[in-house]
Amino acid sequence: MRLCMQRKALSPASNGVGKPPMKTRDITITALFAVLMAVCSWICIPSAVPFTLQTFGVFVTVGLLGGKRGTLAVLVYILLGAVGIPVFAGFTGGVGILFGSTGGYILGFLGSALSMWLVTRLFGDRTLPLAAGMGLGLLICYTFGTAWFLLIYVNQTGPVSLSTVLGWCVVPFIVPDLIKIALALGFTKRFRSKIP
């Protein structure tokens, strides 16, 4: 009788037949969203200053997966690019991109994800805290990326003012990035319940 009960407790039916283990599912979803960020980075929107959907991909990833899995997906995306897989904008990849003048903005995505994780952990993942987390994440990405750009540019080319760098790297992208935040919030609200 005891042996029969033990077998029943260990049978596949008791663990949910057909459902992958949680760890496997998390790894799969994390990898899929790293690919989503790569696809978003390849999409270039033509305008006076062309821009990609990289930040949109980061915001959607963390919004849908939550802080832990979302941050891990962003880290996987950056590591894939670091080893040379062309996941960055313009189908580029490699350590040289990360250590180039604009690499700080890519590394800043990790700060964006961590800040979203922190805000939603403290205040919940409703629309307002999530929007605040995305806004803070964008600000962190701008700050880190601009400081990185300034450092690399000064070392390679010569002195340049902060206002000039902001005019090159931040100001033209503020409105598009705010639109991407609004779109990411909409996607998160609509599809979050469909993500395991």
Does 45 map to a domain? yes
Tally of structural domains, the chain: 1
| pLDDT attached to residue 50 | 87
Closest by CA to 105, choosing from 69, 155, 51, 156, is 51
Does 11 map to a domain? no
Contact 132, 65 (CB under 8 A): no
| pLDDT tens digits, one per residue of 56-97 | 999 999 999 999 999 999 999 999 999 999 999 999 999 999
The rounded distance, in Å, linking the Cα atoms of 192 and 187 is 8
| pLDDT tens digits, one per residue of 14-51 | 444 555 566 899 999 999 999 999 999 999 999 888 89
CA–chain centroid gap for 136, Å, is 14
Is the pLDDT assigned to residue 4 strictly greater than 60?
A: no
Task: Work out the percent of the chain whose per-residue pLDDT is above 70.
Answer: 89
Does 64 map to a domain? yes
Does 178 map to a domain? yes
The rounded distance, in Å, linking the Cα atoms of 88 and 78 is 8
CB 189: neighbour CB atoms within 10 A? Answer: 13
Angle in degrees, CA 71, 77, 135, rounded to 5: 45
Domain span holding position 184: 25-194
The CATH number of the domain holding residue 53 is 1.10.1760.20
Does 129 map to a domain? yes
The rounded distance, in Å, linking the Cα atoms of 11 and 8 is 5
The rounded distance, in Å, linking the Cα atoms of 31 and 4 is 40
Closest by CA to 77, choosing from 30, 115, 16, is 30
The rounded distance, in Å, linking the Cα atoms of 178 and 56 is 10
Beta bridge pairs of residue 44: 52
| pLDDT attached to residue 15 | 47
Return the minimum-mean-pLDDT range out of 30-34, 114-118, 151-155, 190-194. 190-194
Does 10 map to a domain? no
Is the pLDDT assigned to residue 1 strictly greater than 50?
A: no
pTM: predicted TM-score of the whole model, two decimal places: 0.86
